[in-house]
Amino acid sequence: MTQTHSAADIATVVQQTLQNFRPNRGFTFRSPAITVTGEYCVSQLGDALLELGASHVLMVVDRQVWQMGLLEGCESAIRLAGLQLTLFTEVEGEPDSELMTKGIEVLTQSGADFVLGIGGGSALDTAKAIAVVGDYHGPLTEFEVGGLASRKVGLGAIPTTAGTGSEATDITVINDVRHNIKVPIKGPALVPDLALLDPMLMLGVPASITAATGLDALTHAIESYVSKQSNLLSQAYAYHAMETVMAALPIAVGCGDNIERRFELAVAAYKAGLAFSNSGLGLTHAIAHQLGAKYHIPHGVANAILLPYVMSFNALCCEQEFAEVAKALGVSRDSMTPRQRCQAAIDAVRQLAADLGLPSSLREFGVLEADFDALATDAMADICLVGNPRQVTHGQVMQLMRQALEGEG
Ligand SMILES: [Fe+2]
């Protein structure tokens, strides 16, 4: 029987083809306009803000980081440059729509022309949302970022943990309080104009958080490296991020005052952020987001538990890429076959998480198998799934969660 297609069908196919078409594997790569790095580089903050044309800065800060007095250097640098400063120090816990709305009110009332997020991933994501969402009042799920010009104020990010890479990325995730869902907002306007990486701001981060955020950065690098949407630049950044995290993270966890390793990790997390912002992530993040929302498992910990299982699952169609990952992780040997290298990469990730004392099973967080059906449905709709190299079914997602529930090796 001859199959017929309506004009609408054909238009859909053409649209899908165009969306997936990469002429000669070409790509567009976005990154912050200015990246300032180094010990005490906070002292250069004022100059960077002036270069970007800022005159009045709204600082969006983690309350805890603020109370610890960690940000006096940032404040001094801004004032010494002759810039006006308004503080918003209410970031606590995960970023949500109520906090974002409050921040937008402060931005409007102050008349600030530059939003600077300082703190962990929550402060940076909140700052990015404040700068981009502006006077939009509709449901967050329907908010469209638009292009580079859709942001009316400058945007900067200073991380105090090495993990999320939010200072480099085009995404923020906001918890919509009214509907109790996590809404990812993604677009070019979310890439900060300025990223400043000062390891001196990270010295006091506890070992357990250093370990979890470091595994988040490693997951960004690995998922980005094998993503269907990876490109030559994203893979280069991801490869170097893997090398550095593997070498520096154990020392930064075991010896938190090692400034050199802290600095290397900060740059590695930034590189991993650049990589995944320009390539997408994969199934580990798609599942971890649901476990974080339902059980409040720290994001890096959820990734650390899931990543070896997802790598094993994905190995079917990216054995060669994982062999390259093994090389980056320093566990590849000339005598190994590609399959052995692939397995060595998976084993290395599992061993690193164990060495750092991270949990190895979901059971430890009270995760229930009865929730897997709904969790798998949400994971299948997660924005991160698009980059995963292997097609996955609802049943396979449930099977992966079962393995991670018990920590089966
Ligand atoms: Fe992540």
Q: Tell which phi-psi region holds residue 188, choosing left (phi > 0), alpha (psi between -120 and 50) or beta.
A: alpha
Which pairs with CB-CB distance under 8 Å and at least 24 residues apart come from 383-386?
383/184, 383/186, 384/223, 384/280, 384/281, 384/282, 384/283, 384/285, 384/286, 384/289, 385/282, 385/283, 385/286, 386/228, 386/229, 386/280
Q: Is the pLDDT of residue 356 over 70?
A: yes
Ligand 1 midpoint to CA 304 (Å) = 10
Ligand 1 midpoint to CA 101 (Å) = 24
Ligand 1 midpoint to CA 46 (Å) = 30
The answer to whether 67 touches 204, Cβ cutoff 8 Å, is no
Ligand 1 midpoint to CA 281 (Å) = 9
Using pLDDT thresholds of 50, 70 and 90, give the confidence band for residue 83.
very high
Highest CATH level, class, for 207-406 = mainly alpha
Q: What is the pLDDT of residues 3-60, one digit of tens each?
A: 556 777 777 766 666 555 555 568 899 999 999 999 999 999 999 999 999 999 999 9
Cα dihedral sign, 133-139-141-142: negative
Ligand 1 midpoint to CA 299 (Å) = 7
Beta partners for residue 115, in sequence order: 58, 155
Ligand 1 midpoint to CA 58 (Å) = 26
Q: Is the pLDDT of residue 242 over 90?
A: yes
Ligand 1 midpoint to CA 331 (Å) = 24
In this structure, how many other beta carbons lie within 10 angstroms of the beta carbon of residue 80?
12
pLDDT of residue 320: 94
Ligand 1 midpoint to CA 334 (Å) = 32
Boundaries of every domain in the chain: 34-201, 207-406
Ligand 1 midpoint to CA 344 (Å) = 23
Ligand 1 midpoint to CA 107 (Å) = 28
Q: What is the pLDDT of residues 361-379, one digit of tens each?
A: 999 999 999 999 999 999 9
Using pLDDT thresholds of 50, 70 and 90, give the confidence band for residue 177.
confident
Ligand 1 midpoint to CA 337 (Å) = 31
Ligand 1 midpoint to CA 209 (Å) = 14
Q: Counting beta carbons within 10 angstroms of the beta carbon of residue 150, is it exposed (0 to 12), middle (13 to 18) or buried (19 or more)?
A: middle
Using pLDDT thresholds of 50, 70 and 90, give the confidence band for residue 141.
confident
Ligand 1 midpoint to CA 369 (Å) = 24
In the numeric block, which tokens belong to residue 290?
């649901």
Looking at residue 281, the DSSP 8-state letter turns out to be -
Ligand 1 midpoint to CA 149 (Å) = 27
With pLDDT > 90 as the criterion, what percentage of the chain qualifies? 78
The answer to whether 210 touches 252, Cβ cutoff 8 Å, is yes
Q: What is the pLDDT of residues 303-313, one digit of tens each?
A: 999 999 999 99
Q: What is the pLDDT of residues 86-121, one digit of tens each?
A: 999 989 878 888 999 999 999 999 999 999 999 999
Beta partners for residue 195, in sequence order: 35, 157
Ligand 1 midpoint to CA 2 (Å) = 47
342/194 Cα distance (integer angstroms): 37
Q: Is the pLDDT of residue 405 over 80?
A: yes
Looking at residue 386, the DSSP 8-state letter turns out to be G
246/218 Cα distance (integer angstroms): 8
User: Across 251-382, where does the E strand assignment appear?
Assistant: none
pLDDT of residue 24: 59
Ligand 1 midpoint to CA 285 (Å) = 6
Ligand 1 midpoint to CA 379 (Å) = 14
In this structure, how many other beta carbons lie within 10 angstroms of the beta carbon of residue 136?
12
Ligand 1 midpoint to CA 81 (Å) = 34
As a CATH number, domain 34-201 is 3.40.50.1970
Ligand 1 midpoint to CA 164 (Å) = 6
